[in-house]
Structure 1
């Protein structure tokens, strides 16, 4: 008796309110009841619901419940011959047809029978031995392309709507739902009201930073005084929260949308231009104590392969697992949230750079060394011929010529060794200078690496050089963060 699994997905709360899950579940149950000939049993143990997960970006196939189903099939937890019931193919994917069809075929080839409930089309592996499978596949590909184009069109309409919405900013309209924590929208929705107590915190942070005080010192003092954080969920301020506020242009009234368009005087300014410019200039300068901002060379360079998402350096909060140890500083996937200690990641990158045998490009040896090598080859050939002739003739003249040629060979070898030695010294000087300009091996990574990727379970790191060479190294599980 085959087991049928009902996969359900919706991408917004509105759809949930419209009873999307109930509708999709009812369709699966109805299919089973209407087709007793398949003798299906609906599974109720595995939750296959992706709530608020996009199929257009493929997130449901990367990290969602559908990904878990696919992994369970490939690991054998879900046996061949199981059925996957979908309301329609757009529940499965809204990606372009080349991506969506590939994922569907992989699942079918793994022995899963896929059903689209809205038209009761059945996709089986064995059907592709005849015309039925081809006809169904062509229909599926057309439907997938339609779902993809629909999403693209919807995206364009949304973008146009946002452009029209932002066009009203110049007319004084409020176009944003969220506001900075020191402001609120007035009851008439015609402008903003400054919350003086919170705005004063912002001004204090800016003034203290403009006077040269460090972000960590400001954060520690706010925490010690019990000042509520910007989110109002506690009183623990992190330096990153202070830095985010100091990098914001909203304090001088600027609204910047996700397309990078800037609108002046949208918000009321709560920081003077003088103080704001003083803080802005410090972003590129040392603090009053002479320290330059800490540079983290892996920031934005490492990606988690399954999610294709950047792994960010996190330096707040604390995690503690038996495998990783205690680590306040970590590299964390911005999509699925998996992490590993930052020292572990940097150690793996250093290993990859070392294994890549990265050195500056070799210096051309030039005409001098080339001429010497040609002369050496000719003399060695002549010496060998003369020695062979001497062994046969025992002629003293041949012996004298062989000894002269041998001396010349040794002389040229010495000259060639000297030339190559000069090149090696020059190469070493260049390498030494390069290491001086880079504070560490990791600082050099951005000049030689195209990308860095970490696999799904964080056990292997792959570094792709600008040359195209790929170096893979294991991530050392013993390199956990040490107190």
Structure 2
């Protein structure tokens, strides 16, 4: 059997990926594999675009960064010992401080991964480690770190200089939405400045950001900033209003920031008088106190782990669905637009009932059912499920290691489980080679984890379920209908393979003298003469809505 190779590409800025670099690296990797009789596994895309390796951010968050996912796969044994990791040069793998960089490289090598560098000199670093190859690797890693460090220092010095000059000249064209750059000067946009003043006036009068967004959207007040996103017009939302109300630019202060994206943070003291102020300081600080007292903003600032984040779609208009967490009441699924005061018909649905019912149905779906594969998909599903089950047991036993009374028992149990994990990892790798089916792995992991959620509703487990769902599910389109104190939900789960499942859920929203009962769910078979119903289509959604409105809720499921 041929050894397996994985190719890793990284670019510190997305612009670097637009040239000829990708084609050149892919051709070089393919050529090396052919010359060395190694099979290149192309089912796993190891590519980090727009990610710096200077501080090791690409080693964290496997849901986002390809290298972090690969490192996890190596640690768990899913990448078998003896595999190759091919990089154009070692500085693509890391540009961290030399001690951290060498530790990363040797940790892979010591786990049996052979690291192939294609440039500037083609070499393979593997066990047993050759001293010459190691010295060359250290030199290459040191060079990469030195280049990034020098660049970081130069950029930092440039920004420090710009901060000092901010009191006397315009140092950046990145401006608040209510300020324009005209003839070398920063001036207020009178129309947008009036909107900002109105925001502060409403907030000062005690209105929360939800009420403000609803009022502005009702009056069709144009948003400040981006006007369209993914082809849809932007509306006022709680997050954007909160950002304006918190911005010191409204009182004329320029706040220098360091880095971009998630790592962006303020650096140094604000520079007063840089922008033309739109409100006075007394109003600004009065509003800050009000925001602190109310603390009503949710959205991106919340910490609830939504297992279906990014997947839920409203069948009525194609918009997104989100969680609303009313104080002292159960969480509800609602259209995002309802949070922003958008007018139009909408119905909420209890989040707990939705999660429990959909998960209970999805765990019954086999990988072969959604993939159209034969025995190969089934083998991957079973092997992946067994491995996930073993890893969950290891996690639970590791949590008991702090108890000195049972440490020997725990150690013995973990030793046996680690042997079992290696065996099941090998079994999964063999099943994957037979089926070449990544979705089967994701679905097997999901089914195992979903069985545990009833007894362990931790954030960690919910994040893992969400990750598995995202790899296998394209969307979950929902239609909520209220009827006689009940809530009805029609849901279409669309898988990435093109397969789908349709369900109907009934839950009691108001008791009205009825005895409390758990939510019910059943597979849907919509009666129609027009062929298959697709809830993602507006016309079909209206047909389904009519069926639900005529449904006898008291005889549901009979």
Asked if the contact 1:315–1:328 (Cα under 8 Å) also holds between the matched residues in 2, the reply is no
1:296-353 CA-to-partner distances (Å, cap 9, x unmatched) read 9xx9xxxxxxxxxxx952699994879xx973359xxxxxxxxxx99x9xxxxxxxxx
Give the distance between the partners of 1:48 and 1:239, measured in 2 at CA: 36
Give the distance between the partners of 1:122 and 1:315, measured in 2 at CA: 45
What is the CA distance between 1:86 and its match in structure 2? 1.0
**Residue 178 in structure 1 maps to residue 179 in structure 2:** no
Find 2:38's aligned residue among 21, 37, 40: 40
Q: 1:295 to 1:203 in 2, by over 3 A?
A: closer
Alignment partner of 2:58: what SS? Answer: helix
Asked if the contact 2:5–2:38 (Cα under 8 Å) also holds between the matched residues in 1, the reply is yes
Could you tell me which residue of structure 2 aligns to residue 227 of structure 1?
A: 221
**Residue 162 in structure 1 maps to residue 159 in structure 2:** yes
Asked if the contact 1:10–1:20 (Cα under 8 Å) also holds between the matched residues in 2, the reply is no
1:228-260 CA-to-partner distances (Å, cap 9, x unmatched) read 333324454333432221121111221110213
Give the distance between the partners of 2:165 and 2:201, measured in 1 at CA: 33
What is the CA distance between 1:273 and its match in structure 2? 4.0
1:389-428 CA-to-partner distances (Å, cap 9, x unmatched) read xxxxxxxxxxxxxxxxxxxxxxxxxxxxxxxxxxxxxxxx
Alignment partner of 1:268: what SS? Answer: coil
**Residue 213 in structure 1 maps to residue 214 in structure 2:** no
Give the distance between the partners of 2:100 and 2:460, measured in 1 at CA: 20
Could you tell me which residue of structure 1 aligns to residue 276 of structure 2?
A: 268
Q: 1:263 to 1:92 in 2, by over 3 A?
A: same
Could you tell me which residue of structure 1 aligns to residue 302 of structure 2?
A: 313
Alignment partner of 2:100: what SS? Answer: helix
What is the CA distance between 1:203 and its match in structure 2? 0.7
Could you tell me which residue of structure 1 aligns to residue 101 of structure 2?
A: 100
Asked if the contact 1:246–1:279 (Cα under 8 Å) also holds between the matched residues in 2, the reply is yes
Asked if the contact 2:82–2:113 (Cα under 8 Å) also holds between the matched residues in 1, the reply is yes
Query: Any unmatched runs of 5+ in structure 2?
Result: 258-266, 313-320, 326-330, 332-350, 356-457, 466-507, 510-558
Instruction: Write out aligned runs for 1:464-479 (5 A).
Output: none
TM-score, with normalisation over the residues of structure 2? 0.49
Q: 1:456 to 1:256 in 2, by over 3 A?
A: farther
More divergent stretch after superposition (22-31 vs 55-64): 22-31
Q: 1:252 to 1:89 in 2, by over 3 A?
A: same
Q: 1:48 to 1:162 in 2, by over 3 A?
A: same
Asked if the contact 1:8–1:25 (Cα under 8 Å) also holds between the matched residues in 2, the reply is no
Give the distance between the partners of 2:303 and 2:85, measured in 1 at CA: 39
What is the CA distance between 1:206 and its match in structure 2? 1.0
Figure out how many residues of one structure are paired with residues of the other and give that number: 311
What is the CA distance between 1:68 and its match in structure 2? 2.6
TM-score, with normalisation over the residues of structure 1? 0.56
Give the distance between the partners of 1:320 and 1:26, measured in 2 at CA: 35
What is the CA distance between 1:455 and its match in structure 2? 4.8
Give the distance between the partners of 1:326 and 1:221, measured in 2 at CA: 21
Alignment partner of 2:302: what SS? Answer: strand
What is the CA distance between 1:17 and its match in structure 2? 3.9
What is the CA distance between 1:122 and its match in structure 2? 0.9
What is the CA distance between 1:41 and its match in structure 2? 3.3
Q: 1:180 to 1:71 in 2, by over 3 A?
A: same
What is the CA distance between 1:275 and its match in structure 2? 3.1
**Residue 148 in structure 1 maps to residue 142 in structure 2:** no
1:341-399 CA-to-partner distances (Å, cap 9, x unmatched) read 99x9xxxxxxxxxxxxxxxxxxxxxxxxxxxxxxxxxxxxxxxxxxxxxxxxxxxxxxx
What is the CA distance between 1:56 and its match in structure 2? 1.5
What is the CA distance between 1:202 and its match in structure 2? 0.3
Instruction: Write out aligned runs for 1:106-145 (5 A).
Output: 106-118=107-119, 119-125=121-127, 127-128=128-129, 132=130, 134-145=131-142
Query: Any unmatched runs of 5+ in structure 1?
Result: 285-291, 300-310, 331-340, 345-452, 461-481
Alignment partner of 1:263: what SS? Answer: coil
Could you tell me which residue of structure 1 aligns to residue 372 of structure 2?
A: none
Larger radius of gyration: 1
